[in-house]
Amino acid sequence: MGATSMERNETEGFTSGDEQTTAGTETDRGVSGRVRSVASSVKQKASGIPALLADGLQAGAQALRQRSVSSDASVAGSSVAVTSDTNIAAVTDTLASGMESSAEWIRDADLDKLKQGVEKQVKEHPARSLLVALGAGYLIGKALRR
């Protein structure tokens, strides 16, 4: 009886290494099943993100347009002249239009094709992709800190 092939089980006596391997495999299956379940849940939640993002862009564009209209009404009745009011209105309108077109693009985009394009770029230009990712992460971090 070598120590490697037999181990003491307090309730049943000795168990072989094969029985322990079977128990380990069942535990591995349970873990992999849980991992698959979590991955499925994450994938399901992620599938709703583009629609949520598009809705947010659409709502932001509408809010910009409403703010532009309300600020035009308040400026018209005041005694303070705003010389760049037309410039501000033009920039606001351009920004709102861009947000709306981005929302439409997100709704219509084929995410699998987009994913394949990104994967191709990363494989062909890994250093550039890393630099772009670092730059984007830095800018997003700066924006979220404020």
Euclidean distance between CA atoms 25 and 19, whole angstroms: 10
13: left (phi > 0), else alpha (psi -120 to 50), else beta?
left
Euclidean distance between CA atoms 98 and 109, whole angstroms: 16
Q: Is the pLDDT of residue 14 over 60?
A: no
User: Are 78 and 85 in contact, with CB atoms under 8 Å apart?
Assistant: no
Range 55-68 average pLDDT: 88
Instruction: Report pLDDT digits (tens) over 20-40.
Output: 555 556 666 778 888 888 888
Greater confidence, 124 or 5?
Answer: 124
Model pTM greater than 0.75? no
Range 3-17 average pLDDT: 49
Mean of the per-residue pLDDT values of the chain? 77
| pLDDT confidence of residue 146 | 76
Greater confidence, 94 or 13?
Answer: 94
